[in-house]
Structure 1
Amino acid sequence: MIAHRGYAKAFPENTLLSLDAAVNAGARLVEFDVQLTADGIPVVLHDDTLLRTAGHGGSIFEIESVNIEHICVNEAARFGPRFPEARLSTLENIVLWLKELPAVTAFVEIKIQSLQRFGIQKTVSQVLRVLEPVKVQCVPISFEPQVIAIARKEGMNTTGWVLPTWDLVTAFKLNPEYIFCNRTRIPSGWRNFTEYPWNWVIYEVTEIKEALEYAALGVGFIETMAIGEMLQHPLFRASDQRQ
């Protein structure tokens, strides 16, 4: 079970609160998204704007990193005033958190908007530079195929491609260790997951029954925002001990 943007069903997504809650719920695999600020500093954010998470307009590409400390990304439209402490975090802060959790693996999605804005090489290099202290715990992933080649060239042994469409021809050419696929993109009746050399990760799954069906078909990983609820099932429950 991979915690999609942390425990995003119950906490503001892509925040330290959400990621920490996922680990406290038993997750040992987490996923979060990275964009770059105007001055090229990686921050943990899904959208390139702050409207959905912070409730106000503006692009992260227009904000210098020195000005992000007080940006509240508490998803007030979803949670109301419950999480005033949910701040936009730099990737560096999340790396410090990961250093204290050696048993946790992080899938780090480098978002397409930043790749387009700053260039693929620069964006990937910036992200990997920050991840260096916890490199062995991290798997860079992206919708952009070139990210995989660049990450490998820069020393990342494990990578993942997020399928933008059902394109297994490109998947074979890239041959990443993980293929992430939205459940809605899987062809109807598809049952051939075991025939491929990579690890399948199917998202967004929030029902135990569906997760078990995918497991029976050979899918190794499920990504979910409802990590706390999913880990209540005895087949999916991780160690109760935070390491």
Structure 2
Amino acid sequence: MSASRLSPPLPDLIAQRGNSGEYPENTLPALRSALELGARHVAFDVQLTADRQPVLLNDSNLKRMAGLDRSALEMAWHQLAEISVTEPDRFQRQFNDIGVPTLAQAAMLMGTHPSVTAFIEIKRASLRVFGTDVVVRKVCEVLKPIVRQCVLVSRDLTAVHHVRQVSSCRIGWILSEYSNLSALKSEALVPDYLLCDHELLTPTNAQLWRGPWRWVIQNVSSRETAAQLAARGAKLVATTSFRKLLRELKAGAERA
């Protein structure tokens, strides 16, 4: 039997913040592009506006996305809807008139692709400002029509526990450190998914912690790294270079 046949299957790809390598992250064009490229999994971030509207944003401050030094958490939705989020430092003037999507808009788009799974990160900035119960309930309410497609994740362990209490949604915990303490907490939580940045992993070829969860390794940008992670037990990798990595994995599969 050849070595390639002995190798574990390469992980599935998650389009991190949509096709964010080519479009402003967490926007509808980024999500649509990922879906058009055939993504089976997408990931995006959620914050709350001042009037408790769940929207797709990673940073609470709009400086990076819109060139505006202002907190989205202090703005009502009707104010935020007037702002273009075109990532000017990264894309210069390539895009214009792209707005912040509401979670409801993203859910509607996901509903037209029922076989696609969405990993939705509840951001800690909103949890601190509005409280765990408010944020989790607002997000879960919007996601009810597509709950079977969703995995709600957070770095905040309390928020992940709360999702399990108030929703049938699958859950995932994003590790802030790959440590023995995190392993013990994972065993107590028993999430559906464990998520971790690949740079946080110990620099060995040791197997990832075994458990009932599936591993998602974030910020992966090469086929070589994806293959190494598959050998360690990762089932999914998230990437901001979705088109590039998808092409590399397909080319590798054709050569095998």
**TM-score scaled by length of structure 1:** 0.94
- 1:219 aligns to 2:196 (yes or no): no
User: Alignment partner for residue 126 of structure 1, among 131, 135, 138?
Assistant: 138
- 1:234 aligns to 2:244 (yes or no): no
Q: Which residue of 2 aligns with 1:207?
A: 222
Q: Which residue of 2 aligns with 1:240?
A: none
Structure 2 Cα separation of the partners of residues 83 and 112 of structure 1? 29
Q: Which has the larger radius of gyration?
A: 2
Aligned-residue offset at 1:164: 1.2
Please list the CA deviations of residues 180-217 of structure 1 after superposition, one character each: whole Å capped at 9, or x if unmatched: 00111111215122623211111110001110111122
SS at match of 2:68: coil
SS at match of 1:22: helix
CA contact 1:12–1:75 (8 Å) conserved in 2: yes
Letter in 1 for 2:162: I
Query: Matches of residues 31-70 of structure 1 in structure 2 within 5 Å?
Result: 31-70=43-82
Q: Which residue of 1 aligns with 2:10?
A: none
Letter in 2 for 1:42: P
Letter in 2 for 1:125: R
Query: Structure 1 pair 56/236, CA: closer, same or farther in 2 (3 Å)?
Result: farther
Q: Which runs of 5+ in 2 are unaligned?
A: 1-12
Aligned-residue offset at 1:42: 0.4
Q: Which runs of 5+ in 1 are unaligned?
A: 238-243
Structure 1 Cα separation of the partners of residues 157 and 74 of structure 2? 26
Aligned-residue offset at 1:65: 0.8
Aligned-residue offset at 1:110: 0.2
Query: Matches of residues 169-188 of structure 1 in structure 2 within 5 Å?
Result: 169-188=184-203
SS at match of 2:250: coil
CA RMSD of aligned residues (A): 1.5
Query: Structure 1 pair 185/5, CA: closer, same or farther in 2 (3 Å)?
Result: same
Please list the CA deviations of residues 222-243 of structure 1 after superposition, one character each: whole Å capped at 9, or x if unmatched: 0101111111122788xxxxxx
Structure 2 Cα separation of the partners of residues 175 and 35 of structure 1? 25
Query: Matches of residues 2-17 of structure 1 in structure 2 within 5 Å?
Result: 2-17=14-29
Moved more, 174-183 or 188-197: 188-197
- 1:114 aligns to 2:129 (yes or no): no
CA contact 2:215–2:234 (8 Å) conserved in 1: yes
Structure 1 Cα separation of the partners of residues 111 and 32 of structure 2? 13
Q: Which residue of 2 aligns with 1:241?
A: none
Q: Greater helix percent: which structure?
A: 2
Structure 1 Cα separation of the partners of residues 202 and 161 of structure 2? 27
Structure 2 Cα separation of the partners of residues 143 and 122 of structure 1? 17
Aligned-residue offset at 1:89: 0.9
Please list the CA deviations of residues 113-165 of structure 1 after superposition, one character each: whole Å capped at 9, or x if unmatched: 00011001111001101111111111100001112221111222411000011
CA contact 1:55–1:76 (8 Å) conserved in 2: yes
CA contact 1:230–1:236 (8 Å) conserved in 2: no
